[in-house]
Chain A
C-alpha cells in the first residue's frame, strides 16, 4: 500500500520522469502529466489522487490557472506548488488560492515526501471529518 497517491505536473519531461522514479522508490504512487489540461484529465480519471505537485511556470495554462481548476472540481485534493525563484510571488498567490504549500525548485526529495505525506494526511482528515459529519447527519436523522 502506497503512502499516498500523487499527480506530478511539470512541462520538463526529464524532470517528471526522474522525480517519478524517486517518489515511487519512496513508496508513493505517482501519476504524471506535462501540462495543465492533461493534469485535470488525469485527476478526473484517477479519483484516488490525494496530492498534486504542480509547477507554476508552464506554457499555455500555467500553474495558477490549473490550481484554480483543480480546486474548483476537486476541492479536497491538496496541491503543492513547485516554483523557481522568479515565480515566488505566483506561488504565494497560489497559497492564497488554496494551495497546501510551495517548494522551491530544485528541492530536497525528503522534504517533498514529508510535505506530500503531510498534505495527504490533511486530505484524509478532511475526508474523515466530512464522513463523520455525514454519519452524524444520518444517525441523527434515524433517531
Chain B
C-alpha cells in the first residue's frame, strides 16, 4: 500500500480548501456584520449626540455672553439715569460739574464712559464733559437724537458722528421746567469691543454684534472668512421667526429699554434659550459655519457667534477618525483571524478524517485476518478427512504386514492401500494449494479481476461448508463481463463475507444460494440471494454497523459486513440489501467499472 503518501492528512486537498474558505467566510460574516452595524449605529448616535452637545454648549455660552453684554448696557444706562435722578438737570448744566461727574464715573468704571453731555429738547448740547470739542454741538439733525427724544432710555447704533470715530451713545430723558432733557454718554468702543470679543472659542470661534442694517457694531472679524452681508441680514429674519415661535406675544415693538424697568433687577424677558438660535451656513468661500445668535438691545442688535464647523466639531471628527482607523485595522485582523481559525479547524478535521481512514483500514485488516482465520479453520477441517483416511490406510497396511504380504490377496490389498494414500495425499495437496493461492492474493495491490472466476473460487472454498449444510449453490454468471481493476483480496473478502453469512443463515435448514453477475450500465452487479430466514427490519438499518452481530458470542465479530461496506464504498460502489423475513435475503454489490474493454472471462 502506498503508505508513504497517506501517512499524514492531506490538508491541501481542494475539498479542505473549500471547507476552510467556507468556515472563514462564515466567521467573517458573523464577526464583521454586527461590528459594522453596531459601530454604524454608535457613530450615528454619537454624531447626533455630540452635535447636540456642541450646539447646546455654544448656545449656553452665547446666552451667557448676551447676558453679560445686556447687563453691561443696562448698567451704563442705569449709571447715567442715576446721575440724572440724583442731581436733576440743574447742576448738570454746569460743564465743570459734569466733568466732575464724568471723572467719578470713569474712575468707577475704568473709563468706559468717554464723555457726558446734556442736551435740550432742541438738540443743542447745553453742557459737555469729555475729550472732544463738542460744546454747543447741535444734534437736532442726528438720527439718534430724533429717536432718543421720544424715549425714556436709548442706546444708539455705532456711528462715526461729529467726531469721526466709531462710538455709540446711551441716553436717558428727563423732564425739567416743562422741557425734555437728555443726558447722553459715549461708551468707549474699545472697552465694549473687548467685552464682546471676550467670547473666543477654539481657533475660529468669535463673537460680534450686527445692527439691523447689517453693520458691524463691534470690530468686524478681520482675516477670518465671513459670510456676506445678505447672509448676516437673513439671520435677523431667522431670529425673529424663532422668537415668534418661542414667545408669540413678544414683538420688536416691545421695547425693553423704553420702559421704566431698565434699571431694575436684571430680567431676561427672552427666556433662557428662547431668543437664541443656531444655524449652519456656508460662506461664499465654501467654509461651513455654525452660527449661534441672540438678539440684543430690543432686537435691534444681533449678537453673533460664528465658528467654522471643522473647528467646532474637531473633537467629533477626531473621534470618528479614530473609530474609522480602528475599524480599518479590525477588519483585516478579523479576516486574518478567521482564516487562521478556519485553517486550524480544517487541519483538525483533516486529521480526524485521516484517523478515521486509518481506523477503517485497520478494521479491514482485522477483518481480513478474521476471514483468513475462518478459512483456515474450514480448510483444516477439510484436510482432516484425507489425513484420517491416510492414517487408516497406513494402519491397515501395518495390519497386513503383521499377517505377511506373501499372499496374492494381501499384496493386492497392500498396493490398493498405497494408491489410496497417494490419492488422499494429492487431495491434501489440492487443498493446501487452494489455501496458498488464496493467501498469496492477500495483498492490497490493485489488479485485474475477473469477477466470474473469483466467484467460482470463493464458492469452491466454501463448497465443503455448503455441502455439509445441505445448501444448493446456483450461479448465473453473465458472460463477456469486462475485466475490472480492484484489489483481489478485498473482492474475495466481500464475496466471502456475504456468502459465509448466507451459509450461516441456512446452516441448520439448508436452502439455495444463487450468485449472479451482470453488467448494468457502467456498473457491475453481483447479487447473492439466499433462502434463509431473512433479516428483521429492525436489524436492517444496523446491518453494516461495526460490531453489530446476531451470532452467539464467539461466533461472529460483527465486522464482516462493515468491512464489506468499507471496501465497496472505497471502490466507489455500493451495497444494497433486500430481505423478507421467512423468504430470504439478497445482497447486491454494485461496483463501478473503470475499464470498459470487454474481455471474455473464463479460464
Contact = CB atoms under 8 A, between A and B. Distances in A.
B388 A106 contact: yes
Contact of A86 (B377, B395, B510): B377
B389 A12 contact: yes
A47 interface: no
A120 to B, nearest CB: 21
B467 interface: yes
Interface string A91-124: 0000000000000011001000000000000000
A57 B468 contact: yes
A112 to B, nearest CB: 10
B381 A18 contact: no
Given A84-B385, A86-B377, A106-B391, 4 more contacts: A14-B393, A21-B399, A58-B468, A109-B392
Nearest to B471: A59
Contact of A14 (B377, B384, B389): B389
A86 B392 contact: no
B601 interface: no
Given A18-B417, A18-B420, A25-B399, A57 B392 contact: no
A14 B385 CA distance: 10
Contact of A59 (B387, B392, B393, B470): B470
Contact of A15 (B381, B392, B413, B470): B392
B381 A86 contact: yes
B396 interface: yes
If over half of B's interface residues share one DSSP class (helix, strand or loop), that class is named, otherwise mixed; here it is helix
B211 interface: no
A12 B377 contact: no
Interface string A1-36: 000000000001011001101100100000000000
Interface in B367-402: 377-378, 380-381, 384-385, 387-393, 395-396, 399
Contacts of A22: 392, 395-396, 399
B377 A15 contact: no
B487 interface: no
Contacts of A62: 468
23 contacts: A14-B389, A14-B423, A14-B424, A15-B388, A15-B389, A18-B392, A18-B393, A18-B395, A18-B417, A18-B420, A19-B392, A21-B399, A22-B396, A22-B399, A25-B399, A57-B381, A57-B468, A59-B467, A59-B469, A59-B470, A85-B380, A87-B381, A105-B384
Contacts of B510: 60
- In the complex, which of the residues B384, B392, B393, B510 has the most CB atoms of chain A within 10 Å of its own CB atom? B392
Nearest to A105: B388
Interface of B: 377-378, 380-381, 384-385, 387-393, 395-396, 399, 413, 417, 420, 423-424, 467-470, 510
B381 A14 contact: no
Contacts of A12: 385, 388-389
Contacts of A105: 384-385, 387-388
B388 A59 contact: no
B83 to A, nearest CB: 139
A65 B377 CA distance: 22
Contact of A84 (B381, B390, B420, B469): B381
B392 A106 contact: yes
- In the complex, which of the residues B377, B381, B389, B396 has the most CB atoms of chain A within 10 Å of its own CB atom? B389
Interface in A23-53: 25
B389 A18 contact: yes
B396 A21 contact: yes
Nearest to A87: B381
A110 B469 CA distance: 32
B395 A15 contact: no
A121 B470 CA distance: 36
Nearest to A25: B399
A18 B396 CA distance: 7
Contacts of B388: 12, 15, 84, 105-106
